[in-house]
Structure 1
Amino acid sequence: MDALRFVLAAAVAFGHAWALLVEDYRATGNPAVNTLYFAAGFAHASVILFFVLSGYWITRSVAGRVRSGWSWRGYLVDRLSRLMVVLVPALALGGMLDAVALYLIGSPTHLGETNTFVLNTDVGANLAPENLLGNLVFLQEIFVRPYGSNGPLWSLAYEFWYYIWFPALLLSWRLRRPSLALVALLLAVQAPALAFGFLSWLCGSLLYFTEARLTRSSLVARLRGKLPLATTGLAFGAVLLWGRTGSFSIEDPLLALSFSLVLLTLLLTNPPLVPGIQRCAAYGAGASFSLYAIHFPLMAFAAALLIGGQRMAPGVAAISLVALTLAASIAIAWLFARATEARTATLRRTFRRLLRRAR
């Protein structure tokens, strides 16, 4: 799962680098170029798969806390320390890069003049203080615009509210009385897309409870031979490719469900590790969040430096530039994570100490 976090973050970053630097698709006779155009379209699907992984691990954490004695205070300290240690520096870095690109370079990319669908407005309007404040309290794309160019942070806001919704629903069901936190569900009225995304996130919850039930029964031994990875992988691949053929109202939850089936197969069969996967897993565990949080302002800034008002025609030069930008973003995100994600435990202890003093 850690290796998948890296692969998914890199897929999102590649799609955005391609859209920022390379012209929109037009038919070509080059199979390699056509393949890269096709691959660049999986950014949104990768976010949905992130939701499944998040749903699994958060559900696992919530279920354990419910068994040992639930505390909203402890849960929120852990979740907020994990998010804020990356979010605050990411917003600061992104705002600084956007300001330099706009006011010192006069970047056509940041002025919305390159006509790329991932950044087609004047970023300056998004650098308003109210957007910064709204992003800090996870309301981007619910009540406010993303801060600066960092549009991908919409999914972080969604994730935060899923962190609240799920335990509120679970506790209300377990205790047979409504939790006050259910009030947060009213956000779904303002943002129906937030509620729709919760269906995909809940596929991770379903995965956790299914795994827990199966491992406690005698079905596991029989299912190990009945759910080969090739079968579930092919089903997932078919749904993934089908989703690229158009825009369908049910593609996201279907994709999440098929991905959950692949993960269930992996959890039940525990196949041998692929050689070299440990390095991907190390990056996924330690820096995939940072890569997701900062890649877009980094890549938009690279576009400000490397191209003018016209994105590049697909070819060797454009592909090389995309690869270089992606590699640089991955490397910078690793360094960024050393100063942020690696300090999560320290921030968590600080939050707890402050709460004890306040009490």
Structure 2
Amino acid sequence: MTPGFSLWLDLLRAGAALTVLLGHMAHLRFTRGDYYVLREWNVASDAVIVFFVLSGLVIAAAAARDGSLGRFAFKRVTRIYGVLIPALLLTVVFDALGRWVDPAAYQAPFFEPVSGADMLLRGLTVTSEWQGLWPRLRLGSNGPLWSLSYEVAFYMLFATCVFLHGLVRVILVLLLGLLAGLPILALLPCWWLGVLVWWRMDQKAAPSLSMAWLCAIGGPVCALVLKISGLPDLLSQRTAEALAPFNHHLVLGYSDEALWSFVLASCIALHLWGVYGLASRRPSLEQTAHARAIRWIAGGSFSIYVVHYPSLHLLDAVLPNDLPGHDLWMFGLTLTICFAFARMFERPLAWQRGWLIGVWQRLSPGAAAAKLEME
């Protein structure tokens, strides 16, 4: 993966995280509907699909680099829990404080009170959307954690397919699919398109220059044209008809636009394939101030995603509605909280992993070899 292509992935990751934040901030309860066009365009949901395609590509590359199930699992678990555990604690604290200040700011369906036991069980197992286990559950005000429940299922299915073999692989794939449920499986193809892009990259089969430009530009343009043409609404209608008399929103949950999501993911995958072809012709990249800024924002994108919603709810409760520059204050303070959170929990990932390996090495007599395996 060339520095130029890696930087472009970071740019997309940073842009998707900020798009999710702006898309959620556009809710009526936060900004009175002044930016409701972002809700009408459903930009937050589309940005999550960008995340899924990027995730498939990056996780496939990580699996190829890790080479073993143990190393792969260790890195995925530490990446998720190093941010998720403090994010769950922050959600509990922010929700309690916000409800104490202004209970009216915490109304269904955007807030669901949960017990501490449910927050721990469903949050720490990252299974709030696994319909084969129990009913769906919103973790307080932190609705965006739904996609993390999807991501973990995708990781587990992918690792099972890549690192296991024979009957064990077949049984575990079927079991995981049953436990995850239909909504998660409905968006799995979007994630696997990212894996497909990596597979083509791993084959060292870059597209021709003309094809690379066509895919890099044509992918986003095609997605935009199809969006403007009303294809998402048409596909949603077809989904509703196919699942009638059942309500497709209830059946599929956050995957109720699965058909449009796959179309969008296909456009994103084509775009990434094209950008890879262009970047492979320019392997070097200067470390400009712009590049460093992009990487810095992308380095906090996970924190933006898992912290922004409880932050918006708290700020909605405590900020006066007539505060001059109310929306700028809300946006700026939310980003400040997210980046402060990232500084404490997301960016020190290498240190966290080293500390865990050191503890394991001291506790386990045979951990010296394991240390080499995990690094």
TM exceeding 0.5: yes
Contact residue 59 and residue 205 of structure 1 kept, 8 A:
yes
- Which residue of structure 2 aligns with residue 46 of structure 1? 47
- Structure 1 residues without counterparts, runs of 5 or longer: 25-31, 309-316
- Which residue of structure 1 aligns with residue 265 of structure 2? 256
Q: 1:353 to 1:288 in 2, by over 3 A?
A: same
Matched, 1:107 2:115: no
Q: 1:12 to 1:302 in 2, by over 3 A?
A: same
Task: For residues 280-316 of structure 1, give each alpha carbon's deviation from its aligned partner in whole angstroms, at most 9, with x where no partner exists.
Answer: 52234310000101000000001111368xxxxxxxx
- Which residue of structure 1 aligns with residue 172 of structure 2? 182
Q: 1:276 to 1:347 in 2, by over 3 A?
A: closer
- Which residue of structure 1 aligns with residue 160 of structure 2? 168
- Which residue of structure 1 aligns with residue 142 of structure 2? 150
Match for residue 337 of structure 1 among 317, 333, 342: 342
Contact residue 48 and residue 256 of structure 1 kept, 8 A:
yes
CA distance in 2, matches of 1:34, 1:141: 27
Q: 1:171 to 1:254 in 2, by over 3 A?
A: same
Farther off after superposition, 243-252 or 1-10: 243-252
Task: For residues 18-76 of structure 1, give each alpha carbon's deviation from its aligned partner in whole angstroms, at most 9, with x where no partner exists.
Answer: 2131346xxxxxxx85645545x21111111100001000001112334xxx2x22221
Give, in angstroms, the shift of residue 234 of structure 1.
Answer: 1.0
Match for residue 130 of structure 1 among 104, 108, 118: 118
CA distance in 1, matches of 2:36, 2:102: 32
CA distance in 2, matches of 1:201, 1:341: 23
Q: Secondary structure at the match of 2:318?
A: helix
CA distance in 2, matches of 1:89, 1:353: 22
CA distance in 2, matches of 1:98, 1:90: 12
Structure 1 residue runs of 4 or more that deviate by more than 6 Å after TM superposition: none
- Which residue of structure 2 aligns with residue 193 of structure 1? 183
Contact residue 131 and residue 140 of structure 1 kept, 8 A:
no
5 Å-filtered alignment, 1:261-276, equals 261-270=270-279
Contact residue 2 and residue 280 of structure 1 kept, 8 A:
no
Match for residue 76 of structure 1 among 46, 53, 73: 73
Give, in angstroms, the shift of residue 355 of structure 1.
Answer: 3.9
Contact residue 95 and residue 148 of structure 1 kept, 8 A:
yes
Structure 2 counterpart of 1:326, which letter?
A: F
Q: 1:287 to 1:56 in 2, by over 3 A?
A: same
Structure 2 counterpart of 1:58, which letter?
A: I
- Which residue of structure 2 aligns with residue 28 of structure 1? none
Contact residue 88 and residue 119 of structure 2 kept, 8 A:
no
Give, in angstroms, the shift of residue 136 of structure 1.
Answer: 0.7
Q: CA RMSD in A?
A: 3.0
- Which residue of structure 2 aligns with residue 16 of structure 1? 24
- Which residue of structure 2 aligns with residue 220 of structure 1? 207
Q: 1:227 to 1:305 in 2, by over 3 A?
A: same
Q: 1:228 to 1:134 in 2, by over 3 A?
A: closer
CA distance in 2, matches of 1:181, 1:73: 20
Q: Secondary structure at the match of 1:126?
A: coil
Structure 1 counterpart of 2:14, which letter?
A: F
Give, in angstroms, the shift of residue 164 of structure 1.
Answer: 1.1
Structure 2 counterpart of 1:46, which letter?
A: A
The count of aligned residue pairs is 325
Q: Secondary structure at the match of 2:300?
A: helix
Match for residue 91 of structure 1 among 88, 93, 97: 88
- Which residue of structure 1 aligns with residue 318 of structure 2? 305
Please give the TM-score of this superposition, normalised by the length of structure 2.
0.77
Give, in angstroms, the shift of residue 224 of structure 1.
Answer: 4.6
Q: 1:97 to 1:184 in 2, by over 3 A?
A: farther
| Residue identity (%) | 24
Structure 1 counterpart of 2:16, which letter?
A: L
Give, in angstroms, the shift of residue 278 of structure 1.
Answer: 2.1
